[in-house]
Amino acid sequence: MTATAGFRESELEHPLAPREFEEVRKLAYGSFGLELKPGKEELVSARLGNLVRKGNFRSFGDYCAWVRSDASGRSLAAMIDALATNHTAFLREPDHFQFLRERVLPELAARRTLELWSAACSTGEEVWTLACLINESFPARDVRILASDVSGKALRTAQNARYPAERCQDLPSAWLARFFAAQGRPVQAYQVRPEICRQAAFRRLNLIETISGVGPLPVIFCRNVMIYFDRATQEKVVRQLTGCLEPGGYLFVGHAESLTRVPHCLEYIRPAVYRKPVKREGKWTKSW
């Protein structure tokens, strides 16, 4: 479903029509829960325009029809990669990592294997922040971090584990020396060392689909993704994440993602940190 020979380049630059924006909205919401509200037309046009042009589609409508008809799923995956927001940083929302270091990890100190899940890990900075913190706090432990995202493009960047020097400037110098290899003189980039990379397993996961084979885990980070979901989708995602937590396990969400209006069974611990109750003597009780 591509344009016929002889189309004019200007035909691909027409503004996104309202009905086409609605088609994209439905596709995005149905495939990975993204809620594109009115006012996002320019963003959608900018992010999908290149795919429309490269595919020689005459319109966004033709492009959407192709995505729906592509049984391989590759076109949908490319659309998700284009629309997904992958803004993140090392040590983002640092009080979470301080709480993990001071409160959560000591509770797990007796375990030889420490397992965590970085859901919606984006380009991987959260994954490697967690790995550095755990290895610094508990050397010689078996660390296993599941890193997942709906975007295959973001996952490839995360798995490559190489970041420009300016993206790493806020990392502790001790971490850079111990867990990263500097590249170039002057330093142009930092590569996560192989022994740290081996502690992470990457998996493409769509949080609005049924999640299987994950958990139960003591810690799940799922931050700054639910802000893109509507209330019903947030409720579904939180329910699934709760099911992947072990009793007493912690869920970290973004500071802009209060669960106040989302039905759940988790205990509020502190801003953006929740805990699954512990079951004792046949009843669910507070864990502290």
Does the annotation count 70 as an active-site position? no
pLDDT tens sequence across 23-45: 999 999 998 888 898 999 999 99
pLDDT in tens, 29-85: 998 888 898 999 999 999 999 899 999 898 899 999 999 999 988 899 898 889 887
- The 10s digit of each residue's pLDDT in 183-206 is 999 999 999 999 999 999 999 999
Q: Catalytic one among 25, 149, 223, 275? A: 149
Is pLDDT of 1 > 90? no
Are 17 and 62 in contact by the 8 Å Cβ rule? The answer is: no
Torsion sign over Cα 153, 155, 160, 166? positive
Could you give the CA distance from residue 73 to residue 83 in angstroms, rounded to a whole number? Answer: 15
Question: Any catalytic annotation for residue 239?
Answer: no
The 3-state secondary structure of 141-181 reads: CEEEEEEEECCHHHHHHHHHCEEEHHHHCCCCHHHHHHHEE
Instruction: List the chain domain ranges.
Output: 9-83, 94-285
Domain 94-285 fold: Rossmann fold (3.40.50)
Answer whether 9-83 and 94-285 agree in fold.
no
**C-alpha span between 155 and 168 (Å, rounded):** 18
pLDDT band at 13 (very low <50, low <70, confident <90, very high): low
> Which CATH fold topology does 9-83 show?
Chemotaxis Receptor Methyltransferase Cher; domain 1 (1.10.155)
Choose, from 47, 68, 144, 156, the residue flagged as catalytic: 47
